[in-house]
Structure 1
Amino acid sequence: MSNPSYIYKLVPSSSPVPDELPERLPLSELDATSGFIHLSTAKQIPGTLKHFFADHDQVYVLRIEYAKVEKEIRWESPDAKVCGERGGEGFFPHLYNGGRLGSGEIESVAVWNRTSGNWDEALEKAESWLLY
């Protein structure tokens, strides 16, 4: 497996990402409990949206240059107890750096809106921004 250029963190609109990124964003409950920051590759984002953001109308998508965090990433299998099997999606990037994710790690932020009950249109509009 070759390393991706970028990896992504999805954040619900209930935890807004400020225009000016701080040095460290607050951790989600899942990340704090897990002891690492859950991330996705571009290929994994549709499944992450489906399993974790189906009831949200808006998400922030944080794009992180992989080379900046590579030394702190572990590629791990998703826990099927949380969202069931995620066949074909492979291992997920998990960031083990003491919960630090902010201005030093995040390259850019996009805001996606769910329409017609799904994320298809948002994914289509983001195609040129969502880099592999």
Structure 2
Amino acid sequence: MAEIEPTYLYKLVPSTAPVHQPIPDRLPVSEIDQQSGFVHLSTALQVPNTLKLFFKDEPLVYVLRIPYESVARDIRFEDPEGRVCGPRPEEGLFPHLYNGLKLGKDEIESMSVWSNDHGWEKSLGAAKPWLLY
């Protein structure tokens, strides 16, 4: 478990799986989440590297903000699997949601759409007030 509990967790969704408003009861499950048996999430501190490593070629991503308190009972902070994303020790443990792969309107507080305009730095800078640990 992380030493300081985050206020929010974030799910990054690629442009190939658009998230529409209103957010449905249950979003489609990504292939990596289906294979892992849990929903891969990031803290605000982990989002920049998650974008750069897994979404570097995406034109945009949907960033879903999830209040930690609402899913805390189903969260495990674990090391990422080395074969999936390699060691990232400077980022600590990653939040994994074990709730039967359900992510939808009951879990998601808000959503932001970020553009990969020659890198993620511009979107990350604009999102600072919203991207909270």
Letter in structure 2 aligned against 1:63? R
Superposed CA deviations along residues 95-122 of structure 1, whole A, max 9, x for unmatched, are 0000110000000000000112x10111
What are the ranges of 5 or more consecutive residues in structure 2 without an aligned counterpart?
Answer: none
* 1:101-112 alignment, distance < 5 Å: 101-112=103-114
Question: TM-score, normalised to structure 1's length?
Answer: 0.97
1:91 Cα offset (Å): 0.2
Name the CA distance, whole Å, in 2 between partners of 1:22 and 1:52.
25
* Equivalent of residue 60 in structure 1, options 50, 62, 71: 62
Q: 1:14-25 alignment to 2 at 5 Å?
A: 14-25=16-27
2:130 aligned with 1:129: yes
Aligned length: 131
Q: 2:51 matched to which residue of 1?
A: 49
| CA distance in 1: counterparts of 2:37 and 2:91, whole angstroms | 22
Unaligned runs of 5+ in 1: none
Q: 1:36 aligns with which of 38, 41, 54?
A: 38
Q: Hey, what's the Cα distance between the residues in 1 that align with 2:32 and 2:100?
A: 14
Q: What CA deviation, in whole Å up to 9, does each residue of 1:60-80 have, x standing for no partner?
A: 000000000000000000112
SS at match of 1:106: coil
CA distance in 2, matches of 1:107, 1:19: 12
Give the Cα–Cα distance (whole angstroms) in 1 for the partners of residues 36 and 106 of structure 2. Answer: 22
Give, in whole Å, the separation in 2 of the partners of 1:85 and 1:115: 27
In 1, Cα distance between equivalents of 2:116 and 2:52: 11
State the identity as a percent.
Answer: 56
* TM-score normalised according to structure 2 size: 0.96
Question: What do you get for the CA RMSD once the two structures are aligned?
Answer: 0.7
